[in-house]
Structure 1
Amino acid sequence: MNILFYSPMKPLDHPNPSGDQTTAIGLVSFLKACGHRVETASRARARWLYWKPWLFPGIIADIRRIERGCFCHKPDLFLTHHSYYKAPDVIGPEVCRRLGIPYVVFQGIFSTKQRRNPKTWPGYVLNRKALRFTDHVFTNRLIDFENLKRLVPVSRLSYVRPGINPEEFRFSQVQRAQWRERLGIAPDMPIVVSAAMMRPGVKADGIAWMIETSKRLLAGGQRHVLLVAGAGPEEDRLKALASGNRSIVFLGKIPRNCLFSVYSTGDVFAFPGIRESLGMVYLEAQSCGLPVVAFDNGGIAEVVCRNETGFLTPPFDTGAFDAALIRLLNDARLRRQMGVAAMHSVRSDYDAAKNFRTVESVLLGLSGG
């Protein structure tokens, strides 16, 4: 297949990583590995574009350029990753209408509550129009699947489990020993790992929650070290929050292809995931054998098996969160048991290459391949 690809939220090579971007990169890489040609249709960012009229000329120019056929091969279909009210796809539907090719969205999101907010109403309308035009919509969240059924016929909908490449996130005893030696942490000291981009909002709030949790546990005599991986605008504020506490260690930004070494260093992965849509970090950590402690909200329960590969607690319940973390820190046997279950779970159900086969099959059917 010859596929035109577009990511309205941000291009694949955007410098600020996110779970959505990771999924998009994984999808494109999978399709290319299967022998399909995938060309970027546009690099235009559509985030809040309806309040940014200066973006319209560039988007119109991209649509005209694509219509003129400025690509190496004639496209068989148009594939958009993640269209929703903040970044609706206004390019794909128009291109497909003009070229007469199928239009597909991966990770489409439909939220009717956005129609009641004047700020988001234009995005709601544009996104609804795009999703109605689709020949097929894929989603990796069950709640989105249910919401999309109100707009798109079930025959044009598919749920695809989220996934990662487990081979990129394997436990390494060598890395564990090296990191602990480098940081001066004893081999028997329990380590809690947390990771997130330290940008304003729920990500930084999640790290702040972990810092406060760690300080509370340490004050109660619970020995452990908290390793925090990530960087961003809120880094200085978060470091100040942990100031003077040598058991809270900031590692800075860790490239994704090196994160396995940090996960391997730890014994538990803990991050609340405030209103987390899914959280790829939970899959990455579990793939390296770490049990999880997180809030029972958003889509986290779709990637963490409750009481089998991790503990999910009521949001903002400090007592329940602390108790779950303490239980794992004090029970090495339970950690190993849940960690092994976590590794098996990821390889069995959350291997992106296996799950993307459904996507390829549908795309081949739409393109006549």
Structure 2
Amino acid sequence: MKKTLLITLEFPPNIGGVGQYYWNLVRALPVGSVMILAHADDTSEEIEQGVLVRRTPFVFKIRFFHWIKVFFEVYRVIQREKIETLWIGHVLPLGYIGILCKLILEMPYTVFCHGMDVARPLVRFRKRILAGWILKAATLVIANSNFTRTIIEAYGVDEKKIFALHPSIQSAELAVAPDTPTPHSFFILTVCRLVERKGVEFSLRAFAKIAHTYKNFTYIIAGEGDDKIRLEKIARDLGLADRIFFQGAVKNKAELAALYSACSVFIMLPFEPYEGDVESFGMAYLEANLFGKPVVGTWSGGVLEAIINNQTGILVPPQNVDQAAFALKRLLGDSRFAQKLGCAGRERVLRHFSPALLAERLLSFLA
């Protein structure tokens, strides 16, 4: 494998699926083959689990020199580490660096795409032209799902150089620490950023429809985001503020594992509030499945690839509160069915979403 530099705006310890996607993947590749250059508030450089990670600010006050300065930072790393190829973690704006390196240094690059980063530019003329230029000039384009792949094809990119590579789940890191408490005995769980497209409003309303039947259940929502205040008001208006708990951001993987391990059902109901704002996969469904939990999602975007309907979870139409409530009732009222889905989900995650397997698949694309 060629010595590679991955340039990304998102990377641990920052919370988010994109950063975790890269971290799980890079650690499964041959040691020393990939270096990380990640955006951060301060500059630092260290070796983390055998991977050289350099963090530095990508945003500068003088707009005109913005990408020129980032390019020179990338150039210094390329020269020092003898980099042979680039991986661009976000088509816009990091794709500009890929174009500059190809034009000036004749260095090939691969673009990784995660859904909204290609869906949103598609509906804006100027950004559609720029994103299309970057994607077409890439040697390869890696999509996080087949759904994302279809969006990339809409740019006119040669389909022979587009490959789908799903996120992987590092099962060894999701272990419940003995001293990690869980706040409730029986609860339904959502873990996500609190933004409109995650559909938390609809899961709140679905819970309200079953709350009188399952009086011993609470609903825990773990995450932060711009939609939190509105969602808290909805919970109060539903008269369920004493049974719906907004837990805030998950502090670490042990806390996350404890939540997944103790919940009865995981629910997240994404929808597309406006064109381009779409869920391209849904790692949280796989994480819940890893703990043998059944999941409820929607027929939306790439969620159909994360959940196999009536096998690892239940899919319902987006924004359909009645169907979501029925799915919850079915899972809470039939423990054998819920256990069957959860066990099948766990087996699927372990068999098809390990970092080693997906790293091997990526190497086959690069060969």
TM normalised by structure 2 equals 0.81
User: Aligned partners of 1:237, 1:278: CA distance in 2, in Å?
Assistant: 25
Tell me the SS of whatever aligns to 1:251: strand
Partners of 1:155 and 1:27 lie apart in 2 by: 22
Q: Deviations over 1:285-343 (max 9, x none)?
A: 11111111111111111011111010000111222111111000011111111111010
Assess, with a 3 A threshold, how the Cα gap between structure 1 residues 345 and 173 changes in structure 2: closer, same or farther: farther
AA partner of residue 220 (structure 2): L
Determine whether 1:160 maps to 2:168: no
Instruction: State yes or no: 1:4 paired with 2:5.
Output: yes
**Cα distance 1:95–1:106, how it changes in 2: closer, same or farther (>3 A)?**
same
Segment of structure 1 superposing worse, 326-335 or 229-238: 229-238
Report runs of 4+ in structure 1 exceeding 4 Å deviation. 41-46, 68-71, 108-115, 172-176, 220-223
The reply to whether residue 196 of structure 1 matches residue 192 of structure 2 is: yes
* Alpha carbons 2:292, 2:345 under 8 Å: kept: yes
Alignment of 1:1-369 (within 5 A): 1-7=2-8, 10-13=9-12, 15=14, 17-31=15-29, 34-40=31-37, 54-67=62-75, 71-83=79-91, 87=93, 89-107=95-113, 114=121, 120-149=124-153, 151-169=156-174, 178-179=181-182, 183=183, 185=185, 189=186, 191-199=187-195, 201-203=196-198, 206-220=199-213, 223-243=216-236, 245-258=241-254, 259-274=256-271, 275-363=278-366, 365=367
Instruction: Give the 3-state SS of the residue equivalent to 2:86 in structure 1.
Output: strand
Shift of 1:240: 3.5
Say if 1:175 and 1:261, in contact at 8 Å, map to a contact too: no
Change (3 A) 1:283 1:45: farther
Call closer, same or farther: CA 1:298–1:44 in 2, change over 3 Å: farther
Judging changes above 3 Å, is the alpha-carbon distance between structure 1 residues 237 and 308 closer, same or farther for their aligned structure 2 residues?
same
**Change beyond 3 A, Cα 1:58–1:82:** closer
Q: Map Cα deviations across residues 42-66 of structure 1 (whole Å, 9 max, x no partner).
A: 75658xxxxx995341211222343
Distance 1:219 1:6, change over 3 A: same
Q: TM-score, normalised by structure 1?
A: 0.81
Gaps of 5+ in 1: 47-51
Q: Aligned partners of 1:334 and 1:328: how far apart in 2? A: 7
- Structure 1, residues 245-274: CA drift from partner, whole Å, max 9, x if none? 322223222134121110001011011022
In the alignment, is the contact (CA less than 8 A) between 2:111 and 2:142 conserved in 1? yes
Please report how far the alpha carbon of residue 235 of structure 1 lies from its aligned counterpart in structure 2 after TM superposition: 3.1
- Partner secondary structure for residue 242 of structure 1: helix
**What percentage of aligned pairs have identical amino acids?**
23
5+ long unaligned stretches in structure 2: 40-55, 272-277
Which secondary structure does the structure 2 equivalent of 1:91 belong to?
Answer: helix
Q: The residue matched to 1:72 in structure 2 has which SS? A: helix
**Length, aligned pairs only:** 338
Using a 3 Å threshold, how does the CA distance of structure 1 residues 65 and 231 change in structure 2: closer, same or farther? closer
Task: Say if 1:173 and 1:264, in contact at 8 Å, map to a contact too.
Answer: no
Contact 1:294 1:313 in 2 (8 A): yes
Which amino acid in the other structure matches residue 161 of structure 1?
H
- The residue type paired with residue 218 of structure 2 is V
Partner-residue secondary structure (3-state), 2:225: coil
The SS at the match of 1:192 is strand
Alpha-carbon distance in structure 2 between the residues aligned to 1:197 and 1:331 = 30
2:274 alignment partner in structure 1 = none
